[in-house]
């Protein structure tokens, strides 16, 4: 069965506790449950890791799976410096949509640059948890 893989990177397991003024009150489980409810007709698979290598392996696994429609990736801080994750995205066969809960372009200088954006199908930032919803819609309808 076709599915969309959602991959969350470092510190996203702390949603709801870490900087709720920026990242909101919802936990990662809350967001995943909302996504399951909104996209009940689509299989969604979820992964979260604080480890760069594990994220790369998840990209490879989904990205070469003929059943995978696409990947929604919130790479967290790896967004700004992980050329290894960028290389993994560039190598896979499915579209990858970069997401961020906050508007990375309106924050600290180091957050303004994404090294993964050039190899992603698109980027969505600043819509809180709804960035994930928009990314899934983009994969389903692009």
**E strand map for the chain:** 3-8, 43-48, 68-74, 96-100, 122-125
Distance CA 80, CA 116 (A): 8
Q: Smallest Cα–Cα separation from 10: which of 85, 71, 97, 89?
A: 85
Q: Which residues contact 108 (CB under 8 A, 6 or more apart)?
A: none
Is 60 tagged catalytic? no
Residue 67 vs residues 3, 4, 24, 39, 99: alpha-carbon distances, Å: 6, 9, 32, 17, 22
Catalytic residue (choose from 80, 100, 132, 141) = 100
Q: Give the N- to C-terminal CA distance of the chain in Å, as an integer.
A: 19
Catalytic residue (choose from 23, 60, 78, 130) = 23
Is 100 tagged catalytic? yes
Question: Could you give the residue numbers annotated as active site?
Answer: 23, 100
């Amino acid at each position: 069965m076709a599915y969309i893989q959602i991959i969350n990177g470092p510190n996203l397991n702390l949603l709801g506790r870490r900087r709720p003024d920026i990242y909101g009150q919802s936990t990662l489980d809350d967001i995943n449950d909302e996504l399951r409810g909104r996209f009940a007709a689509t299989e969604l698979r979820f992964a979260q890791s604080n480890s760069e290598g594990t994220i790369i392996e998840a990209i490879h696994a989904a990205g070469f799976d003929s059943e995978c429609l696409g990947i929604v990736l919130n790479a967290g801080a790896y967004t700004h410096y992980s050329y290894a994750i960028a290389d993994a995205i560039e190598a896979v066969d499915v579209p990858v949509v970069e997401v961020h809960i906050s508007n990375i372009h309106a924050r600290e200088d180091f957050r303004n640059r994404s090294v993964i954006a050039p190899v992603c199908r698109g980027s969505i930032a600043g819509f809180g948890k709804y960035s994930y919803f928009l990314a899934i819609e983009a994969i389903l309808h692009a």
